């Protein structure tokens, strides 16, 4: 059973990548753009601010002037402007490959359902097929968004933080590794345990949507043969 689930997950990811790599130029631009955006917005600015505070702490107030912080102010402002433009561009790259991939997946599913025989459609609710199709399309969008906004940005933040801490405070870098390892271990196990409940909820929603959609689609037949009580059951 576990092997079957893993096989389905691999096939799903493989199918997602099949349609994504058709526009891999936009995919890689969006991916690297997200990583670089985190670097110039969340990594470098705190270093600049820390450096400015070091100057304030180690220099007598009477000797301080705006000229001592011109570089910090200019660089900080430039990075903020760059990050705004970069994030807008990065989102545009994501839209490009996600929209095109969703169109290709929709076409692929439509052609696949058309090739299936009459017995396939006779033994299944039409509403269920529509619900599963919508979830599959929504799943692709969520996977791509999570990969870009959570995985890529998280990895960049983690790696750069580790590099900086290793040179500045090796002990805190070690503590950071230990704490993050425990956190990732707990969260991964929690996620694996909740997956079966997520699957059960998804199947329940598909079944409910299927029956509702078919009842609404065939409402004339239901009312003609007085089948309301049967449908309610």
Q: Could you read off the pLDDT of 110-165 as tens digits, one per residue?
A: 888 888 877 776 676 666 677 778 888 888 988 899 899 888 998 998 888 888 88
Nearest-5° Cα angle at 210, 208 to 216: 100
pTM over 0.75: no
Q: What does the pLDDT average to over 6-22?
A: 82
For residues 83 and 40, the answer to whether their CB atoms sit within 8 Å is yes
**Integer Cα distance of 107 and 93 in angstroms:** 22
**DSSP structure class, residue 63:** G
The CATH topology of domain 2-219 is ABC transporter transmembrane region fold (1.20.1560)
Q: Classify residue 200 by burial, with Cβ atoms within 10 Å: 0-12, 13-18, 19+.
A: exposed
pLDDT-based confidence at residue 93 (cuts at 50, 70, 90)? very high
Helices and strands: H and E segment counts in the chain: 10, 0
pLDDT-based confidence at residue 170 (cuts at 50, 70, 90)? confident
Helix axes 24-38, 70-115, angle to 10 degrees: 150
pLDDT-based confidence at residue 211 (cuts at 50, 70, 90)? low
**Integer Cα distance of 34 and 94 in angstroms:** 10
Query: What integer best gives the mean pLDDT of the chain?
Result: 81
**43, 50, 60, 103, 168 from 57: Cα distances, Å:** 22, 10, 8, 57, 18
| Domain residue ranges of the chain, discontinuous segments joined by + | 2-219
- Is residue 226 predicted with pLDDT exceeding 60? no
**DSSP structure class, residue 124:** S
- Is residue 221 predicted with pLDDT exceeding 60? no
Model confidence pLDDT, tens digit, residues 17-49: 889 988 889 999 999 999 999 989 888 998 888
**6, 29, 146, 176 from 89: Cα distances, Å:** 35, 9, 18, 33
Please report the pLDDT score of residue 101 as a whole number: 92
Q: What does the pLDDT average to over 201-222?
A: 62
**Integer Cα distance of 203 and 209 in angstroms:** 10
Cβ-based neighbour number of residue 166 at 10 Å: 14
């Amino acid at each position: 059973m576990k092997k079957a689930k893993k096989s389905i997950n691999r096939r799903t990811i493989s199918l997602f990548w099949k349609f994504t790599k058709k526009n891999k130029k936009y995919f890689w631009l969006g991916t690297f753009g997200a990583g670089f955006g985190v670097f110039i917005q969340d990594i470098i600015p705190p270093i600049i601010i820390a450096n400015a505070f070091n100057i304030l702490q180690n220099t007598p107030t009477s000797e301080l002037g705006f000229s001592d912080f011109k570089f910090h102010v200019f660089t900080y402002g430039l990075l903020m402007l760059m990050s705004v433009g970069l994030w807008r561009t990065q989102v545009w790259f994501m839209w490009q490959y996600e929209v095109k991939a969703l169109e290709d997946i929709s076409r692929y599913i439509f052609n696949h359902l058309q090739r299936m025989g009459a017995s396939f459609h006779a033994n299944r609710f039409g509403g269920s097929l529509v619900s599963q199709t919508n979830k599959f399309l929504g799943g692709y969008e969520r996977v791509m968004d999570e990969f870009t906004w959570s995985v890529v940005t998280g990895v960049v933040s983690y790696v750069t933080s580790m590099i900086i801490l290793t040179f500045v405070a090796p002990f805190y870098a070690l503590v950071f590794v230990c704490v993050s390892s425990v956190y990732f271990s707990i969260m991964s196990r929690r996620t694996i345990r909740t997956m079966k409940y997520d699957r059960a909820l998804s199947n329940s929603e598909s079944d409910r949507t299927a029956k509702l959609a078919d009842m609404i689609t065939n409402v004339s037949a239901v009312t003609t043969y007085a089948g309301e009580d049967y449908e309610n059951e």
